[in-house]
Amino acid sequence: MFPDQLAVEIRLSDTRAEGGSLRDLVATISAVSDTVAYLIDPDERIVASSVPTGREASIPRLGRLLAAIGSQGEPPISATVLPRDRRLPLRRHVIAPVAHDGHLFAYLVLACDDPDDSSEDLVWIADRATIHVRGEYLAQRRLARVAWNARTNLGRQMVRSTTYDADLRACAEYLGVDLAADRVVVFVLERGRSSGSTVDAGRLSDLVAKDLAVEILPIRGSEGVLLAVKVPEDSAHAPFLDRIKGAVIDGLERMGDEQAVAGLSSVTRPGQLRRAYREAREVARCLDRYGSPDTRAVGCDELGPARLFVANSDENSVRIYVHDVVGPLLEGGEAMRMLLKTLQVFFESGRSIRDSATVLQVHENTVRHRLSRVHDLTGLDVASTPNDQLSVQTALLVLRLQGHHAVPGFGRGTESTLRTLA
């Protein structure tokens, strides 16, 4: 016989009152019911069980248990006794859902092999136990939400501050956040939406953090979502920026968010996150205003200082500017496309004739001839005049954002342009 119901309730309540975890609750449930108890999440992962560590036991398959009671994808409403299954070492099972407001946390499964067990007692214990387990899940969810909000507020203060005061340092220490680490700010917004972004900051942060295995502070702003990504001390900056970019693209794709685009700042030292925020926001605005559908994320260093002009100028004025600068090169055939490609390589190669020739696999004089041809067509001397170089480079930047076929777009890496052009 099972202990009386009051004794069972007291033991379950005492376990929770003493700060017991889900594992402690499952152990208590197993003890009061004289069964092997399992807590299994909807993905069939064992959250906790009363099986001693290192001892093998046949774990019931959740799908098989649900099929035995005729569940068609919907969890049972309350504890249910399953028909005996002689194929299982423990032939009697009771399964009970742990749920709240339509959200299913897990299933509690009690297994035993005593044909004299009272099913009514097992069902009562399972139903009462799920109430306590549900309470623990809700408590953990509240704590997680409080911690998430605290980390978000800390991240917001880090972005706003140029120096970290004692209160901020104390908060960071309590939350386990490294204030001394270099960081990259990622600004995510949705195309065409000036405010009220619907990007799930928590989920995107979790996906990117899991991919990179680093600390991330998610921050929700009025225009979009910020991720303050910690840069590991032993990581080279350029390759790690490539990894962040790839992780953000993968995260957005996994979330199914086709409208979101992301700008990445350069690697920033502590106390300079405000500048990093501006960099990332300007890049994201460039993508929002001129980006092609295939471009999901771009790094600050890929755009250079021209991003400030592109992000904040009137869109029609920018398009007119591009046409005025390189219009003659946009109206021809293959010969004009080769001139645009040569210009892009020239700027990506640090305006070096020799390096450009190497990338293009042509003679240096061929590069000089093409730049001279650009001068003839546009009136701009990109070979030697800084102002003309800046004008053409800015126009090429807009063409890249727009996905023009004659210039390379932005790949997953931040340093892949020359490889694309080669």
Using N-to-C axis directions, what is the helix angle for 5-17 and 22-33, rounded to 10°?
160
176-186: per-residue pLDDT in tens?
Answer: 889 999 999 99
Give the pLDDT of residue 218: 92
16-58: per-residue pLDDT in tens?
Answer: 888 878 889 999 999 988 888 999 888 888 888 887 655 555 6
Which residues are registered as beta bridge partners of 48? 39
Residue 5 pLDDT greater than 70, yes or no: yes
Residue 80 DSSP one-character state: E
Residue 73 pLDDT greater than 60, yes or no: no
110 Cβ neighbours under 8 A, 6+ residues apart = 29, 30, 33, 35, 36, 37, 93, 94, 95, 122, 125, 126
Residue position matching structure tokens 């650009």: 374
Record the tokens describing residue 146, joined without a space. 């409080």
Give the pLDDT of residue 213: 92
Please, where in the chain does CATH 3.30.70 lie? 180-310
Residue 332 DSSP one-character state: S
Residue 417 pLDDT greater than 70, yes or no: no
256-297: per-residue pLDDT in tens?
Answer: 888 899 999 999 998 899 999 999 999 999 888 887 778 889
**Amino acid letter for position 12:** L
Residue position matching structure tokens 């600068």: 325
73 Cβ neighbours under 8 A, 6+ residues apart = none
Please, where in the chain does CATH 1.10.10.2840 lie? 317-421
Mean pLDDT of 93-119: 82
Domain 180-310 belongs to what topology?
Alpha-Beta Plaits (3.30.70)
5-138 belongs to which homologous superfamily?
A: GAF domain (3.30.450.40)
- Count Cα neighbours of 39 within 13 Å in the Cβ-side half-sphere: 26
CATH 1.10.10.2840 fits 317-421, yes or no: yes
Nearest in space to 94 (alpha carbons), one of 45, 127, 54, 136:
127
Residue 232 pLDDT greater than 90, yes or no: yes
Record the tokens describing residue 244, joined without a space. 């962040």
Please, where in the chain does CATH 3.30.450.40 lie? 5-138
